[in-house]
Structure 1
């Protein structure tokens, strides 16, 4: 089941997992070692991120390594860029209005 990227990133634990994976691929056990929760709870977070395609599994021998999916992150960054541009435009309009009121 495909999950929404925004819901996936809404959880602080999932964001922390993503930050861990941003530097290197890791096994579920290696990821779980960074959290004070059960391995099963961490696995649910990993699965949620995988279902949203933010991270992906890769077989490495008998182990599964998870890594960040750059294509999905680029799509998210594209959305953020549009949002940033909209906010910058609005702030610029507000600056113009305030400057006109001073004059």
Structure 2
């Protein structure tokens, strides 16, 4: 089953794994040492990250190293960007409206 990047970042443990291996390639045991869950649980998280295309496993001798492939996070960034634009437009309109109301209030106060 092919998973999408949103499934990968939905879990806080997977987000921590991505953050760890984004800075340094680590073997699965080194990743697992940073969590209070079993190694099989971490392996399952890494499998999901691999299915999402955010992690690649490289075999070096007997070790399996996790490497981050963060390009897929652009999907999330693009999705969020459309909502950022939407809310910025709405908040800018609200700011203009409130500024206009404040100006009218100040004008009325000065007339008294």
> Which residue matches 2:92?
92
> Which residue matches 1:65?
65
What is the root-mean-square deviation in Å for CA atoms of aligned residues?
1.6
| Contact kept in structure 2, 1:2 and 1:53, CA below 8 Å | no
SS in 2 for 1:37: coil
Is 1:37 the equivalent of 2:5? no
Is 1:7 the equivalent of 2:7? yes
> Which residue matches 2:110?
none
| Contact kept in structure 1, 2:5 and 2:75, CA below 8 Å | no
Q: How many residues align?
A: 103
**Which blocks of at least 5 consecutive residues in structure 1 are unaligned?**
none
CA deviation string 1:77-102 (max 9, x = no partner): 22233332222222112111222222
* TM-score under structure 2 length normalisation: 0.79
In structure 2, how many angstroms separate the alpha carbons of the residues matched to 1:55 and 1:87? 32
Is 1:49 the equivalent of 2:56? no
In structure 2, how many angstroms separate the alpha carbons of the residues matched to 1:65 and 1:86? 41
In structure 1, how many angstroms separate the alpha carbons of the residues matched to 2:88 and 2:3? 30
In structure 1, how many angstroms separate the alpha carbons of the residues matched to 2:79 and 2:72? 11
Greater C-alpha Rg: 2
Cα distance, 1:49 vs structure 2: 1.3
In structure 1, how many angstroms separate the alpha carbons of the residues matched to 2:89 and 2:21? 34
